[in-house]
Amino acid sequence: MNGVSLKLSLFLALVLGATPSWGQFSPQAACQSEAAPRTAIYYVNGVTTTLDEARLNGGKLELEFLTRLPSMTPASLQSSCYLFFLNYNPTSGAVKDFTEAGQQRLGINPSDMWRKLETLASLGPTMVSLLQGPMTQANQIDQAAVQRHAEAYRAQMTSPLCRRVVVVPHSQGNLYANAAYDAAVGPSPAPAPAAGALKIVGVATPDTAVKGNGRYRTSTGDLLIGAINVVLPSTLDANTNWGPNPILTSFTPLYSGGHSFMGYLSFDDSRSQILSDIQSSLSEVNAVAVCQ
Amino acid sequence: MLIGRIERTVGAILLLALCGGCGSETSSSTPVTAASLAGADADNNGVRDDIDAYIDSSAADADTKKALRQYAKAAQSSILDANDAGKSITHVTERFRALECLMARRPADFHPVFVELRARILDTNPRSEAYLKADGHAAAVNIPLLPADQWMGACL
């Protein structure tokens, strides 16, 4: 990104009200008590997301959540300690293919490719075709990763941890979350976790459902999911936006294409609606007795 | 729902039309700064000289510059040790701590700051490939995350 586009993106962020208001966080009060229940919140990344971006996306989720937490209702939500985790969906091979294709087909140098990775993932005319298979076909996702994710959720929900779990997957991560769900909540191996202790809150989902009656948010301005929806009309319908004019917002320099997780958590209505979905899901899982 | 689907369909058509010029818009004349994987590091601080110069010339405050240099050093180590699985995991962990430090220093705009720094670090194909190879070693490893109240403590 050059200086002009960086300034423009920051300006637009200010104009669009995307400036967060958090400060440095104090430790959660509930986390100071060993007796307080623990709830695990997982971020699962999509395709073309490196480990660094996954860490930042998870951090953004944590910052926005902690900013919202004091005003969340019911008040009982404040009495849980929320712990954040990353279940990584390996994408280095896809990123390599993607960056090579971008350079060959669009003539972009490596630095610009990295600057525009998220933009091109959503906008590049030859890029969408590269991503549609991995984004929509369950047989193209990494089964070892699915198993690893399921085991992590199950370990959280059973003894000795006995935690509730909310999973927030983005993009292709929704396929991973749905695929891991059944294994995570199934009866074997013993002990089985409590029913309802795991909820999914999908973001920018290319899938046709959210397992466990979970919630989801896809923006009307998400051009990548929109392109998938044209080919696969059974894709879940858009139900949020990044502002009054989602198409215009989707062309802001940093978040072009309207698909990035960072954008979903930077613009309203999507940010507030995703946090409300998490809040509702937490209320539901917190009502479940675990390890009884 | 129908309006939303129409809007997204229009958007999808728009992207196909508008991105015909993506290549010409985004091609850069920025030259490759060094031929080798390591590049020049005259002061031997673990950060390439061109990246040091970029950080020094940026408008960031002193604490942010330290966070950027912490990430740059960890990324450079990732690139140089990409063939070693164990070291790669260690360096990804170092990168996570540097990113947590950056989020603590720049909570409002850490993402664009990170994107620009990494783009400058990964300015050649060999460096980009090494970075991704290092990621591949750590992809299945559960690397612990520090909670937000401890991010400042991740700063070196």
A66 vs B contacts (CB less than 8 Å): 148
Coil, strand or helix at B73: helix
Q: Do A56 and B96 touch (CB under 8 A)?
A: no
Mutate which of A10, A48, A92 to disrupt the B interface (most B C-beta within 10 Å)?
A: A92
Q: Do A66 and B148 touch (CB under 8 A)?
A: yes
Instruction: For residue range A212-222, list pLDDT tens digits in order.
Output: 999 999 999 88
CATH topology assigned to domain A3-17+26-286: Rossmann fold (3.40.50)
**Residues B92 and A51: beta-carbon distance below 8 Å:** yes
A124 vs B contacts (CB less than 8 Å): 19, 22
Mutate which of B1, B10, B14, B19 to disrupt the A interface (most A C-beta within 10 Å)?
A: B19
Starting at the earlier edge strand, list the strands of the sheet with A38-44: A81-87, A38-44, A164-169, A198-203, A215-217
Coil, strand or helix at A203: strand
**Residues A195 and A158: beta-carbon distance below 8 Å:** no
pTM: 0.86
Query: Integer distance in angstroms from the first to the last C-alpha of chain A?
Result: 53
Nearest residue, CB atoms, A1 vs list B5, B24, B116: B116
Burial A145-174 (b: 16+ CB within 10 A, else e): bbebbbebbbbbbbeeebbbbbbbbbbbbb
Q: State how far Cα B89 lies from the chain centre.
A: 16
Work out the minimum CA distance from A212 to partner chain B, whole angstroms: 23
User: What pLDDT, on a 0 to 100 scale, did the predictor assign at position A11?
Assistant: 42
B135 vs A contacts (CB less than 8 Å): 50-51, 92
Coil, strand or helix at A82: strand
Task: Give one DSSP letter per residue of A98-161, joined into a string.
Answer: HHHHHHHHH---HHHHHHTHHHHHHH-TTHHHHHHHHHH-GGGS-HHHHHHHHHHHHHHHSTTT
What would the mean pLDDT of A151-160 be, rounded to a whole number?
95
Kindly report the average pLDDT of chain B as a whole number: 83
Q: Is there a cis peptide before residue A187, judged by omega within 30 degrees of 0?
A: no
Q: A167: part of which helix (H) or strand (E)?
A: strand A164-169
pLDDT at B10 over 50: no
> Among all residues of chain A, which has the CA nearest to that of B110?
A56
Work out the minimum CA distance from A58 to partner chain B, whole angstroms: 9
User: What pLDDT, on a 0 to 100 scale, did the predictor assign at position A292?
Assistant: 79
Q: Is there a cis peptide before residue A74, judged by omega within 30 degrees of 0?
A: yes
Instruction: For residue range B89-109, list pLDDT tens digits in order.
Output: 999 999 999 999 999 999 999
Range of lowest pLDDT (A23-27, A236-240, A272-276, A277-281): A23-27
Work out the minimum CA distance from A144 to partner chain B, whole angstroms: 9
Q: Do B23 and A107 touch (CB under 8 A)?
A: yes
Q: State how far Cα A279 lies from the chain centre.
A: 15
Q: At residue B29, what is the residue type?
A: S
A247 vs B contacts (CB less than 8 Å): 7, 10-11, 14
Q: Do A59 and B103 touch (CB under 8 A)?
A: yes
Rounded to 5 degrees, φ, ψ at A21 are: -120, 20
Q: Do B7 and A247 touch (CB under 8 A)?
A: yes
Range of lowest pLDDT (A47-51, A92-96, A198-202, B115-119): A92-96
pLDDT at A223 over 70: yes
Q: At residue B90, what is the residue type?
A: T
**Number of CB pairs, chain A paired with chain B, less than 8 A apart:** 201
How far is it, in rounded angstroms, from Cα A131 to Cα A99? 12
Q: A85: part of which helix (H) or strand (E)?
A: strand A81-87
Domain layout of chain A by residue ranges: 3-17+26-286
Coil, strand or helix at A2: coil
CA-based diameter of chain B, in Å?
A: 61
How far is it, in rounded angstroms, from Cα A45 to Cα A24? 25
Work out the minimum CA distance from B44 to partner chain A, whole angstroms: 24
Instruction: For residue range A41-73, list pLDDT tens digits in order.
Output: 999 998 889 999 999 999 999 999 999 999 998
Instruction: For residue range B119-149, list pLDDT tens digits in order.
Output: 999 999 999 999 999 999 998 999 999 999 9
Range of lowest pLDDT (A20-24, A149-153, A196-200, A201-205): A20-24
